[in-house]
Each structure stands twice: as structure tokens, then as C-alpha cells.
Amino acid sequence: MHCGSLVRHAFTRAASLSSVRTLRSAPSRRLSVVNPRAMSSFGATASEGVTYGFSSSFDSGNGELVSATPDTLTVRMRPEPYTEADGRAHFQWFHFRVTGANGAKLRVVIQNAGDASYPDGWRDYKAFVSADRKTWRRIQTTTYVDGELRVDMDPVPGDCVHLAYFVPYGYEKHLDLIAHASNSSPASVSHVVLGNTLDGRPLDCLRFGEPGSWIPERAFAGESPEDEAAIAAIGEKLQPWVRDGGAKRVVWILGRQHPGESMASWWMEGFVRRLLDAEDPVARKVLRRAAVYVVPNMNPDGSVRGHLRTNAAGANLNREWENPTAQLSPEVLWTRNAMDACGPVDLMLDVHGDEAEPYCFIIGGEGCPGWDERRAGVQRRFKEAYARACPDFQTVFPLEYGTAPAGNVVTAKTQVTYRYGCVGMTLEMPFKDNAQLAQPDGWTPARCEKLGAAAVDALLDVLPVLRE
């Protein structure tokens, strides 16, 4: 059966399975459901003289009111459902708004920052603020003191300001990207739904390029004997797949398994839009040689719920790849089934954000069963090409990363590397900044998009060596 038909068959089966899912019941140690009214009204928690409002009741909102005085707003981040694989209830993502305080001096205190999943991430961190939800800037007067994150605004820059851990990328914006890509030329772009999430949202996948085989572009316009001789001489030095064509490479790009890492969605903007550019010669050559499957948001439920690490059931999707289930981690199950249906994967890149490290870097398949020098060489080549294409990416730091625990196949990169004998990688971007090219607003959506676009160059560079 043709790869496209196989994938659609897998998707149809996934959808039928998704209808019988049930949410995992919450253990008693999980937090009870927060009263939604407490998230948008002060009530008895506000002191006399407070004239501003607070809310986190919106897409990706996370923040619970603790107390409010005229000059200090204290909130707590809302923990996610308990994650068995990690042994804790995660939280670190925040996104809420303050209304009616334009021009005032206000300190916002995130009370439980010291108990967050990655407290080292608060060191030198600066929160984001926006008065129009379009233009975001860092609040330089953000400090981490005695386990609290303190955000001082003097003055508050608008009558309705949003504060967030990183610039949010909402579900409506995700739907806009899917619709734009699905209705753009080239016609080789197609959209499929891998299955449904626990909250009933579609798990969207975009395929760029047709599966099958490819034929190289014409080397010369002329047809003289001299041209033919030149073509033959050049061809003798080329790898057979480069010279003669053959089976297209199969590439998968995943984003936002961890929903609070919204920089992955901004990266996808750059990557997807470059692949859609019919005037871009690099993108055209990639799509002539490969079928590229893109899942821009692996965890739409967690994204909407304002989670950092988990889906609606509290599953850390990037620890579910060895044994995913429709009850706990359907997003991984549907994606892995689709990978199986497409035939062997040649390369997979899983896009993430790192709370503490001030670099853009890749963690590869080192340490997983069957890892060999050939794939290590392909991975090095990809990283070196990526660094040439975008200096925000580098190949040296952090020094402590680089090797997965021996036998680990529970993450996307290790399971895919082991399962298909290919190169699986995790790309990490900073929540704070790239220390090597630091700027006042730190790491931003625009830089994410540029890094995403540059990945197309690195992909073209390694396509010839993905198979022996």
C-alpha cells in the first residue's frame, strides 16, 4: 500500500480508537480543581483600595490569586496533574493578565517559584509583558529572591497587560498556521489528522512533498558533447543517490511535546513558512528529495490548559514513547503509528525549550541501543550545517549534555533512533537568552522563527547521507 494510503489508514484507525479513551482518575495526592471564580475575581483576598483586576481564565492561562494590595499582586502557579513517570506535579509556566492598573507602580510576586519544576531557570530570568498581545518585551526589573519571582512594573505599561513565562502561542494561532499551510502552494502540501487528544482536539500533521522517488535536476542546459562530458565527469565524483536519484528520504519534525515550551511553536512558524516558499531554492530542493512530516503541536491540550510538561492526563509525552497508550498518551501513540505506516524514518527532530541553559543545542541518540559511528557522523554533520546556517545555534555547550542513559528508549529521539535505525535528535532553545549572542529582550519569537527557517539548510545538507 502506498505510504500516503497507509498513513491515512493508520489515522482512521487511530480516530476510531480515540473514541473509547477515558481520562486517568486523579490520585488523592493531586490538587483539587481550582474554583474558576477565584481566578478572575479578588473577593476577600483583596485589601481595601485595590482598583485593578486579575485573570488567567483564557487559552494557556496559568495563575491563581493569593492576595492583592494597591501596590502588590501575589499569585501562585497552578500545578498540573501528577506525573507518575517524573514523580511530581509539574509547574513553571505562567500566563495571566492585570487590568485597570495603567500607569501605576505594581509588584507582581509569583509566590511558589522556588517550588517549580526547574528553579534554576529563574536565575537571570526576565518575564515577558504585553499591552496588546502582539508586541512583547522583557521586564528587566524581574528578580528571583527567597523562592519568589518578583516582577516590578513602574509604570504598568497598559490598561490590560499580559505577563507570561515566554511569549504565548495560542491554539487559534496554531489553527491559523495549519489552515494557511493546507491552502498554500505548492500543491504537494497535505494535511491529515493523526487522531484526537484526550480533550477531543485534532492532532494535526502537515506533509510536505510526495512520498516515493525523485529524479535529480538537470545539471546543464546545453546538449553539446562537451556538456555531456562535463556531466559524466562530475557524476563520477557524486554519491549514486545524488547523481541518479532514488527513494525519497522520510523526515519527521515534532514540536511542543512539552506545552509550556511555546518557543517550539514559534520555531515551527519559521520552518513551515520556509517550506511553503516556492521561491526558496533550498526548500524546493529539500521537498524534491524528501517527504517531510510536521506535527507543529504534539500537545494542544496541555498548551490550552497552561501546562509546562504534560497533557490533559498528566503524562509527560516525551517519556511515553516506548509504550504509549490511548488512555494516557494518545498523542504519542497516533504519531508513532503514523511513523510506522510511512516506512522507515530517516531523520527526526523534536523541538523543545530549556528552562536553565542559555544556549541553542541538540541532544542526540548517544547511549541508545544500536547507536553507531555512521549515525554519529550524520548527526555531527547536521549540527555543523545548522551552526553555519544560523549562528544562534552552536555545537559546544552545554558540556554536561550529550549521552542518554544506556538503554533509554522512552523519549522521542531515543525511541525513533532505536526503532528505525535512524538519527533522532532533540533541539533545545533557551527560555532566557543565547549567552553567545545576548540581546536586551533575550530569546524572542523572531529568533525562534529564524532558527526554524535555518533548519531547512541543515536538512538539505544531510539528506544524501541519511541512508547507507
Q: Summarize the confidence of residues 284-304 as an average pLDDT.
A: 97
Q: Is residue 352 part of a domain?
A: yes
Out of 11-25, 155-169, 353-367, pick the least confident: 11-25
- Whole-number pLDDT of residue 286: 97
Is residue 402 within 8 Å of 446, Cβ to Cβ? no
Both 379 and 283 in one domain: the answer is: yes
Residue 81: which domain range? Answer: 36-164
Q: Is residue 241 part of a domain?
A: no
Measured distance CA(75)–CA(157) in Å, rounded: 19
Q: Which residues, including other chains, have CB under 8 Å from residue 200's CB and lie 6 or more apart?
A: none
Both 287 and 426 in one domain: the answer is: yes
Q: Is the model's pLDDT at 339 over the cut of 70?
A: yes
**Closest by CA position to 302, among listed 15, 90, 38:** 90
pLDDT, greater one: 241 or 367: 241
Q: Summarize the confidence of residues 63-78 as an average pLDDT.
A: 98
For the stretch 103-151, pLDDT in tens is 999 999 999 999 999 999 999 999 999 999 999 999 999 999 999 999 9
Q: Is residue 226 part of a domain?
A: no
Q: What is the CATH number of the domain that holds 90?
A: 2.60.40.3120
Q: Is residue 395 part of a domain?
A: yes
Out of 6-20, 115-129, 200-214, pick the least confident: 6-20
Both 407 and 258 in one domain: the answer is: yes
Both 140 and 198 in one domain: the answer is: no
**Eight-state DSSP code of residue 299:** -
| Per-residue confidence band for 18, with pLDDT thresholds at 50, 70 and 90 | very low
Both 59 and 124 in one domain: the answer is: yes
Q: Is the model's pLDDT at 13 over the cut of 80?
A: no
Measured distance CA(286)–CA(72) in Å, rounded: 53
How many distinct structural domains can be found in the chain?
2
Measured distance CA(455)–CA(383) in Å, rounded: 10
- Whole-number pLDDT of residue 224: 86
- Whole-number pLDDT of residue 42: 59
pTM: 0.90
- Whole-number pLDDT of residue 402: 52
- Whole-number pLDDT of residue 22: 32
| Per-residue confidence band for 2, with pLDDT thresholds at 50, 70 and 90 | very low
For the stretch 438-449, pLDDT in tens is 999 999 999 999
- Whole-number pLDDT of residue 405: 60
Domain end among 131, 164, 197: 164
Q: Is residue 223 part of a domain?
A: no
Both 15 and 74 in one domain: the answer is: no
Both 259 and 388 in one domain: the answer is: yes
Task: Tell me how far CA of residue 277 lies from CA of 213, 249, 289, 302, in angstroms.
Answer: 22, 20, 16, 31
Measured distance CA(390)–CA(429) in Å, rounded: 13
All three cell numbers of 322, joined, read 516506548
Both 262 and 384 in one domain: the answer is: yes
Helix, strand counts (H, E) of the chain: 11, 19
Measured distance CA(310)–CA(329) in Å, rounded: 10
Question: Is 428 among the catalytic positions?
Answer: yes
Torsion of CA 127, 133, 137, 140, to 10 degrees: -40
Among residues 210, 355, 357, 428, the one annotated as catalytic is: 428
- Whole-number pLDDT of residue 186: 64
Q: Which residues, including other chains, have CB under 8 Å from residue 26's CB and lie 6 or more apart?
A: 81, 82, 314
Is residue 271 within 8 Å of 456, Cβ to Cβ? yes
3-state SS assignment for residue 109: strand
Both 147 and 49 in one domain: the answer is: yes
For residue 398, cis peptide bond before it (omega within 30 degrees of 0): yes
